[in-house]
Amino acid sequence: MDEFSFIDSIKPDSYRQSSLIKGIDDDAAVFRQNTRDIVTAVDTMVDGVHFSREAMEPYYIGYRALAANISDLAAMGAEPVFFMVSIVIPSDWEEQELREVYRGMNSLGDEYRMDMIGGDTVSGKEFVISITVFGYVERNKARYRTAALPGDILFVTGTLGDSRAGLECMKKNINNEYLIKRHCEPTPRVTFAEQLSSLKRVALNDVSDGIASEGNEVARASCVDLHITYDSIPYHSSVAELFPDQYQGWFLSGGEDFELLGAVSEHEWLEVQQKAEDINLTVTKIGYVSDATEGKGLVYLTKDGQTERLEKSGYTHLQEGRD
């Protein structure tokens, strides 16, 4: 199938968002938004780096690629509305495999009533998928890493290390449906982030590389110190049972859980807990925020009565392997 026939085959029959003026079928898409701020993000995934074609079905490649982008919107407090997809297609990929990649994206996109409004397809040596997402947020209500203040409570949603454990289950043919699903079909915390729109201030960061990495990003952006209590970090019991020697490192820097790390004032913490309870989501206090003691934001981890610096670790782009 040639490029134009393939584009016609994946083109939506209709669109959901009333703000869309022109979708696929022209040089560019057009949408109009007069009342809310527009948030956009882009993420690129490469076969052999971010996923393995041999280990993961094409459906889940598409699903996870879009989930990673939607998680970025969640961290900004934004409602997902549109996405654009650009792919590099090697000659050994079959048309049905490509359709499955798009089916995975559309399956997740349907959950959030997102419209695919464009993209690009080219041939190349490695399979690459790059997704650009757009979201809306109430004016001046976007959530930033710079919003953490001394005295804030530090929290995280869900459990950490699940995705990395799920990947290991797949590698070792361990049948743990929960962990494998957490890796292949992550749940961006969009609903929870939207529930926090009533808060005056909250700093959010999505856990894509691990809290050791994201914590340092928040600390530096806000120029505050973060203090994390090791025993408070939430993890699923099956991760510890299956991987007793690795789970502790994974809940710090395993990455790709796409949970949310946040900082909120103490007097609004109860509201955060209530919002999470309303949607049956676990939210855990893991520490607090203080003034930066060395003139720059740092992260400290307290374990067994000993406090040490928690350096930024986890997956780093342009650097092979994991720390």
Q: For 154-193, write each residue's pLDDT tens digit.
A: 999 999 999 999 999 999 999 999 999 999 999 999 999 9
Domain boundaries, the chain: 16-138, 145-309
Six-digit token pair at 91?
Answer: 């000659």
Residue with tokens 């696929």: 24
Domain formed by 145-309, architecture: Alpha-Beta Complex (3.90)
Please provide the average confidence, as pLDDT, over all residues in the chain.
Answer: 91
Residue 202, pLDDT score: 97
Residue 119: closest CA among 83, 171, 167:
83
CATH topology of domain 16-138: 60s Ribosomal Protein L30; Chain: A; (3.30.1330)
Mean pLDDT value of segment 82-102: 94
pLDDT for 200 beyond 60: yes
Q: Sign of the C-alpha dihedral, residues 76, 77, 82, 85?
A: positive
Beta bridge partners of 40: 134
Helix axes 3-10, 95-111, angle to 10 degrees: 30
| pLDDT digits 0-9 by tens, 8-53 | 666 677 787 888 887 776 677 788 888 899 999 999 999 877 877 8
- Whole-number Å distance between alpha carbons of 156 and 204: 9
pLDDT at res. 26: 65
Q: What is the mean pLDDT of residues 196-212?
A: 95
Question: What confidence score (pLDDT) does residue 18 get?
Answer: 83
Instruction: For 259-308, write each residue's pLDDT tens digit.
Output: 999 999 999 999 999 999 999 999 999 999 999 988 889 999 999 999 99
Q: What does the alpha-carbon distance between residue 167 and residue 120 come to, in Å, rounded to a whole number?
A: 29
Q: Phi/psi at 124 (nearest 5 deg)?
A: -170, 180
Q: What is the pLDDT of residue 20?
A: 84
E-state strands within 151-240: 153-157, 202-207, 224-229
Checking if the pLDDT of 321 tops 50, the result is: no
Q: Which of 15-19, 80-84, 90-94 has the least mean pLDDT?
A: 15-19
Give me the mean pLDDT over the 98-116 stretch: 95
